[in-house]
Amino acid sequence: MTPLLSVRNLAKHYGARIGCTDVGFDLYPGEVLGIVGESGSGKSTLLNCLAGHLEPDTGEVLFDTRSDGPRDTLKMSEPERRMLGRTDWAFVHQNARDGLRMGVSAGGNVGERLMAVGARHYGDIRAQATDWLGRVEIAEDRIDDRPSAFSGGMQQRLQIARNLVTGPRLVFMDEPTGGLDVSVQARLLDLLRGLVREMGLSAIIVTHDLAVVRLLADRLMVMKSGHVVEQGLTDQVLDDPQHGYTQLLVSSILQV
Amino acid sequence: MSDYNFAYLDEQTKRMIRRAILKGIAVPGYQVPFASREMPMPYGWGTGGVQVTAACLTPEDTLKVIDQGADDTTNAVSIRKFFEKTADVATTEHTDKASVIQTRHRIPEAPLTSDQILVYQVPIPEPLRFLEPRETETRKMHALEEYGLMHVKLYEDIARHGNIATAYAYPVKVEGRYVMDPSPIPKFDNPKLESPAIQLFGAGREQRIYAIPPHTKVVSLDFEDYPFDPSKADHPCDLCGASHTYLDEVITDDAGGRMFVCSDTDYCASRQAQGHRGRLSPKETAA
């Protein structure tokens, strides 16, 4: 089986400081990889390098494209990379405002990716938008409301609908549950887990919330100061942490 | 004899603008940056159009200036006076007699010919501006032909109003490549963008020039199930009786009285001279 995404020796430096270095992993179709670590450990840098938002200094990111098989996305031309970003990839931002167009209605937000890949039939676009709002539990009559009229949880769900409408194969998520209260978080996680399983998505989830990765991720990567200090199956890493930092991380969870 | 250089601008500036115009014609719909000069009029009064006109004029040209279709409004009169004074060129109000026409917000009703140049005054040349505020990003979108966002605007129109409510500055795709803002002309004029005349667009404040060469394909964007509709007020002109022209609605009293007249004053006047009469035309006096 070809990995969907295969990363080798990825490094990104900010001047003399390390952003992330010596990162390598394989992600197989349908697999969810969690990346955890404290603030400043290079999680977001790594994710942005993978998604093409930042240019890494060294390394390669091989993505199994539909047409040509595995290709290094860092060597792709920009139009190709941006095309991937609209079709096979999706990026869920921590702050829904970064990922949504706040001045455009919910339906328009969901429809944007469809129109970006050439949909030109209003009725079809609207039907798909309605369908996707339903899937993320947003009432149909809110389709013409702007995201600014939505609660934080709804905005995050709308962002997810907007990203998944073109049927991507790989989703990057940067703290998808950050800033939401626990009950909303739980519903969002439930929804995400359902969608990931149902659509057979592969996902890379960056978070500092170990509960999130416990629920969603098959495999786990622990980062500290730009280095990957431990990786393995989620349950294995969380239940039997080997590295000192992972042990600290796991033992820091508050028990209610 | 005036002390101005011909057509106000110095020769080096005119060369610079002509280079931008030529590049614009070579790449239809592409916004060419140019070093816009301070003109002796405020931004928004047609500083871009005036510079393009100045670069195009020759002493043999006949200039016509229109503002919203009319030859006799402040903007048109002052720009016409400006070139009478600085270039000493002949001016006219008749579309068919002009070789250079500077226009604000209209395309003349009379068909243009291949020996005419139509110069538009453009306030905001970037069709994606209100959807994507970052200029770096919109340039990239033009470069990579990522125009899905333009349809998001049309989608929003239909979702909110039930039809494409954009009535002016209706976005077009030029020669199958660049999406272009045709300046705030009514969408009624969009079909006339495919013309035998050269069409030049000048945006002074935004420092951009773009062009549509003669006989270039210009398509107004739309949805398959909501096709483009070049609508106009559903009336005939009350002065010349024309039912195929773009009309202005004029309030005539405070009791709901109104009349519809051609916005192209020259076209309306010439029709009246040919004997066409509308609902409110003065009764013909017995000769």
Tens of pLDDT along A47-74? 999 998 999 999 999 999 988 889 999 9
A125: nearest CA partner in chain B: B155
pLDDT of res. B20? 97
H-assigned helices in A53-100: 78-86, 96-99
One domain for residues B189 and B274: no
pLDDT of res. A124? 96
One domain for residues B214 and B275: no
One domain for residues B197 and B87: yes
What gap in Å lies between CA B278 and CA B282, rounded to an integer?
Answer: 9
Q: Is residue B89 part of a domain?
A: yes
Phi, psi of A195 (to 5 degrees): -65, -45
One domain for residues B236 and B189: no
What gap in Å lies between CA B54 and CA B76, rounded to an integer?
Answer: 15
pLDDT at B287 over 70: no
B19, burial (CB in 10 Å: exposed 0-12, middle 13-18, buried 19+): middle
Per-residue pLDDT, averaged over A209-225, amounts to 90
pLDDT at A113 over 60: yes
pLDDT of res. A67? 86
Digit-coded pLDDT (tens) for A165-188: 998 999 999 988 887 888 888 888
Please, what is the average pLDDT of chain A? Answer: 91
The beta-carbon neighbor of A144 closest among B149, B160, B226 is B160
Q: Which of B171, B193, B220 is the last residue of a domain?
A: B220
- Chain B residue numbers with beta carbons less than 8 Å from the beta carbon of A86 are 148
One domain for residues B60 and B133: yes
Which residues are CB-neighbours of B250 under 8 A, at least 6 positions away? B258, B259, B260, B261
One domain for residues B99 and B156: yes
Cross-chain residue pair B155–A125, CB shorter than 8 Å:
yes
What gap in Å lies between CA A203 and CA A27, rounded to an integer?
Answer: 9
Q: What percent of chain A has pLDDT over 90?
A: 64
Cross-chain residue pair B149–A116, CB shorter than 8 Å:
yes
- Of the residues B141, B219, B223, the best mutation for testing chain A's interface (the one with the most A CB atoms within 10 Å of its CB) is B223
One domain for residues B190 and B238: no
Q: Which of B220, B252, B270 is the last residue of a domain?
A: B220
- For chain B, how many structural domains are there in total? 2
Domain span at residue B95?
11-220
One domain for residues B170 and B270: no
Cross-chain residue pair A126–B159, CB shorter than 8 Å:
yes
